[in-house]
Amino acid sequence: MPSFSSPLVKGRLIRRYKRFFADVELIDSHPAGPKSGLDAEPPVVVAHCANTGTMKTCGEPGSIVYLSWNPDPKRKLHFTWELTEAPDGGLIGVNTARPNAIVAEAITAGQIPSLTGYATLKREVPISRESRCDIMLDRDGGGKDICVIEIKNATLKLDHTIAFPDAVTSRGLKHLHELSRLASEGVRSVMFFLVNRPDGEVFRAAHEIDAKYALALRQAAACGVELMAWRTMTTLIHAGIGTELHVQLD
């Protein structure tokens, strides 16, 4: 769910390593209380990082971050890195397991006008032997009038723009090619960028990081793939959809 299941814990990022781990010095008290065994100073925990990108401009050491906590004994890491404070205020959503739920909730609530009027919404639907789309909308439930949506979490800030990707992405390139194929076959196809931070004026492809992806995005648009960029409205309680941004094609 887009809402956080428990109060987030404030901390200061020490380092991120091996992609999936982050050492965080807690600023708030540990949610387990004195039984946590973290009464000594400074209380440092290892948090899971679901983001596989470089996290440039949203994961620098020393940043204020917010962690969710799940005491399930089956989990190896009970903390998950959810948010980073932006330099000028506001929150950046860095947990890439959440954007699909945020967008699905917004579509269901009718908050994205161009994606209303569909009878059903399904997630993780196969569109080829090797690929699944993040969301499939079906206007009447019969499978004849569908909309296929791929979602990407955009957090990279370059000057006054928000860009994607923050690292070369062969997987993202594959998704663009799949959308282009579907669009050329007459299937409504949407590349949806969730701008998960409060700053930046427009969205664009990060051509200086992945020129192949930027080219494929332009080609996808030429094939009829719809490009959408919407900013989140994020608090320490809930992450939801906000306002639409202009997509700038280089």
Q: What is the mean pLDDT of residues 32-58?
A: 82
The CA distance from 166 to 54, in Å, is 6
Give the DSSP per-residue string, 129-189: SS-EEEEEEESSSSSSSEEEEEEEEE-EEETTEEEE-SS--HHHHHHHHHHHHHHHTT-EE
User: CB-hemisphere CA count at 13 Å for 37?
Assistant: 1
Q: Considering the chain, tell me which residue range(s) the CATH 2.40.50.580 domain(s) occupy.
A: 9-93
Helix, strand, or coil (residue 204): strand
Question: What's the mean per-residue pLDDT of the chain?
Answer: 94
Report the pLDDT value the prediction gives residue 31, as an integer from 0 to 100: 86
CATH topology of domain 99-248: Trna Endonuclease; Chain: A, domain 1 (3.40.1350)
Do residues 57 and 82 touch, judged by C-beta distance below 8 A?
no
Q: Considering the chain, tell me which residue range(s) the CATH 3.40.1350.60 domain(s) occupy.
A: 99-248
Q: Quickly state the pLDDT bin for 1 (edges 50, 70, 90).
A: very low
CATH topology of domain 9-93: OB fold (Dihydrolipoamide Acetyltransferase, E2P) (2.40.50)
Q: What is the mean pLDDT of residues 211-230?
A: 98
The pair of structure tokens assigned to 11 is: 């901390």
Helix, strand, or coil (residue 247): strand
The CA distance from 191 to 103, in Å, is 12
The CA distance from 3 to 23, in Å, is 24
Report the pLDDT value the prediction gives residue 39, as an integer from 0 to 100: 57
pLDDT in tens, 127-160: 988 889 999 999 999 999 999 999 999 999 999 9
